[in-house]
Amino acid sequence: MSEALPNFEGLLREALAPVEPPEDLALRLESTLTSITEMAADELEAWELSAMRDPRNWARPAAALVVGSGAGVALVLLRARRRAHSSPGGLNGARETAERTVRDLGRETRKLLGER
């Protein structure tokens, strides 16, 4: 049994080694989130207000609202995080980082809402 233990530890160490994501992962994720947000906005634009009287017609717009909002928030966070990691000088303190993050979130939200 003692012979199997070092081999087991080595296998665990090998299996749990960190893996670097592909370099284009952030770009692919951003383009996917952008397309989801645009599709949800198109779905909401196509919805007629006259159909609001019948609750059976609420499922698609409600789903578009939830999915579009989630994708929009994820897109804003992704862009703000990328900007925070690419800024020179590193992290100068918790307060400065929080202020910069809030500014970035506001800027990205205005960009996203301004597109529509």
The total number of structural domains that make up the chain = 1
Q: Is residue 17 part of a domain?
A: no
DSSP 3: T
Q: Is residue 66 part of a domain?
A: yes
Query: Where does the pLDDT of residue 111 fall: very low under 50, low under 70, confident under 90, or very high at 90 and above?
Result: confident
The parent domain of residue 64 ranges over: 24-114
Q: Is residue 43 part of a domain?
A: yes
Q: Is residue 36 part of a domain?
A: yes
Q: Is residue 12 part of a domain?
A: no
Q: Which two tokens stand for residue 115?
A: 């597109």
pLDDT of residue 92: 54
pLDDT of residue 28: 93
Q: Which residue has the tokens 């862009």?
A: 79
Q: Is residue 2 part of a domain?
A: no
What value does the mean pLDDT take over residues 40-64? 83
- Using DSSP's 3-state secondary structure scheme, residue 15 falls into helix
